Structure 1
């Protein structure tokens, strides 16, 4: 069966999945996307993706969609990020079964939440995973499943910090720091100290596309760190926003104290309190292995990345030229 240059992207209607799909398309891959609603997928996703109806919670659907694929990108999350304890691990089990049947490599966007930031200032391939939250524990269990499946089922995990960029709908940059749809009047800075890690999504997606094109150099269970922007003093992102906007903009500290008070009631405050340590302690991703594989990490200049992000959010007015350049579809 022909498997060359065919990718199944689970979660292709989302920010990270859509960006990876777009990068693979630019590299000449045939890309399939699986979605519960084809009408919705065709409306918000790329027209160049071959859409297949299915649910990541149904193994038969995933196996059918993966038939003939050489990679399966697992960028799917539970709807509205709810019910992680019941949905995340069954979904990766279905992906492992599908990849095994198709002879495909699993590609997974990794997070930093597998680690304790108070004891892990630098993440590399040998860093010990000590999660601080329930979601972090589930992510550790997910990665352990991939490791156990190797070498029969190969996998690639590319770990990165907080996403920002065009098409990123759920992020600290787009939902906390900046208000979408209007000029930037103030910056709400979540940083509580130095050393936060950011990942510009188009660069991260390009890295995925380049890595899957060197399969012979990848280990059966490969874990690579994407360095991105290591905000050494917690102010580099704020300063970049000011430079792009061309004026001094007031920076306000994010109200972590209010999140602590409201956390017992659940919702966003509880989620924020869980990840507050990742804004308090420095954490850098060591990309030595990545550079060894690719020669260099794809990296857009910070101001250019911030400008593209703000244009996408509608914060710098209309700019059709730039918008076309940074489109993920």
Structure 2
């Protein structure tokens, strides 16, 4: 029997590529529709991929905590593990390589917001949330004109 993944933000850069990858791997992919009941959408799935992101960086301080709380509540209510892409903003100007014990010292607002987001997921994991934080320097979609790297390099 195929496993089922709920992809949040399946029309975005990370979520879109995640949906394609899970489909190629033989999973059944459900694409979450914003504004619908996330807990209901996650029922019967094996994994939730959080690809939700505010459309504009200026709203991160308000929207990221809302998204994080909703995803955490869904994971706790359903028992479904959550996979969350996380960034390197948290490390500020510290040289790599980075690891789990590297101090998080953001130098900008986006980094501070991401540090708090990760802390919220870690705290929820102590309450039973199964969470995977997948850290990448950037997530590139070669077909998207919205990707920074595609605008300057590809």
TM norm structure 1: 0.44
1:171 aligns with 2:147: yes
Q: RMSD of the alignment, in Å?
A: 1.9
Following TM superposition, by how much is the alpha carbon of 1:78 offset from its aligned partner in structure 2, in angstroms? 1.1
CA distance, structure 2, for counterparts of residue 150 and residue 173 of structure 1? 33
Structure of larger gyration radius: 1
Classify the secondary structure of the residue corresponding to 1:68.
coil
1:114 aligns with 2:90: yes
Alignment match, 1:161: 137
Give the 5 Å matches for 1:1-329.
5-35=3-33, 54-55=34-35, 61-117=37-93, 119-151=94-126, 152-175=128-151, 177-178=152-153, 310=154
Classify the secondary structure of the residue corresponding to 1:114.
helix
State the structure with bigger RCO (CA 8 A, min sep 6), 1 or 2.
2
C-alpha contact 1:15 1:169 (8 A) present in aligned 2? no
C-alpha contact 1:16 1:168 (8 A) present in aligned 2? no
CA distance, structure 1, for counterparts of residue 91 and residue 123 of structure 2? 20
CA distance, structure 1, for counterparts of residue 43 and residue 57 of structure 2? 28
CA distance, structure 2, for counterparts of residue 122 and residue 24 of structure 1? 29
Change in Cα spacing, 1:163 to 1:150, as seen in structure 2 (3 Å) is closer
Following TM superposition, by how much is the alpha carbon of 1:66 offset from its aligned partner in structure 2, in angstroms? 1.1
Following TM superposition, by how much is the alpha carbon of 1:165 offset from its aligned partner in structure 2, in angstroms? 4.1
Following TM superposition, by how much is the alpha carbon of 1:111 offset from its aligned partner in structure 2, in angstroms? 0.5
Runs of at least 4 residues off by over 4 Å: none
C-alpha contact 2:13 2:139 (8 A) present in aligned 1? no
Following TM superposition, by how much is the alpha carbon of 1:170 offset from its aligned partner in structure 2, in angstroms? 2.8
Number of matched pairs = 153
Unaligned runs of 5+ in 2: none
Unaligned runs of 5+ in 1: 36-53, 179-309, 311-329
TM norm structure 2: 0.90
Deviations 1:92-149 (Å, cap 9, x if unpaired)? Answer: 11011111111111101110101122x3321111111011111111101111111011
Following TM superposition, by how much is the alpha carbon of 1:161 offset from its aligned partner in structure 2, in angstroms? 1.2
CA distance, structure 2, for counterparts of residue 109 and residue 150 of structure 1? 16
Deviations 1:177-223 (Å, cap 9, x if unpaired)? Answer: 24xxxxxxxxxxxxxxxxxxxxxxxxxxxxxxxxxxxxxxxxxxxxx
